[in-house]
Structure 1
């Protein structure tokens, strides 16, 4: 009997749309990991991302795991230049592209590891 009740959910009958929005309410963030030249994670490093077209920037600080998620899709759709700094150590700049649809923009790569120069 239960099996017949479940089969009713698989038919082609019209369904009522919930009217919900499939777009994410939160901004999509780029995960930035900052490491030393020998690969140790760096807590307290400053991560700065700059839109190469508008020159608008977002700055964040890495947490105790050496990760920052401050860089987000508000800088999209133009490419973004990302760099990290801890004291006198600076990483090379990396470029991140954003792929956008009607709802959100997603970074490519989704995770960026910045290595501080020795």
Structure 2
């Protein structure tokens, strides 16, 4: 997880990419919460559309890269929630500094970690 996390953070170097992700994740979570409270389960369908839609927009039009979700959906989702939590608590900048400017593989391969 830690090696993929370093790769994930490198793919979110632009602060606006991280902000779009935060808005997408928050919107997705609010959709699920609203669905649970209201019983309007169509909002569950809206959740990934909003969450991924805003995140993918940020990769294609802000960061200029391909979303890591395409190659690693499970790890990307876990890392997105980790990034969301760090941003929510104000610790994402500290995490970026912790990771520093160490070289990160341009592409993360799961077979390298098996």
**What range describes the TM-score normalised by the shorter chain of this pair?**
under 0.3
Structure with greater contact order relative to length (CA < 8 Å, sep ≥ 6): 2
Name the larger-Rg structure.
1
Larger strand percent: 1
Larger helix percent: 2
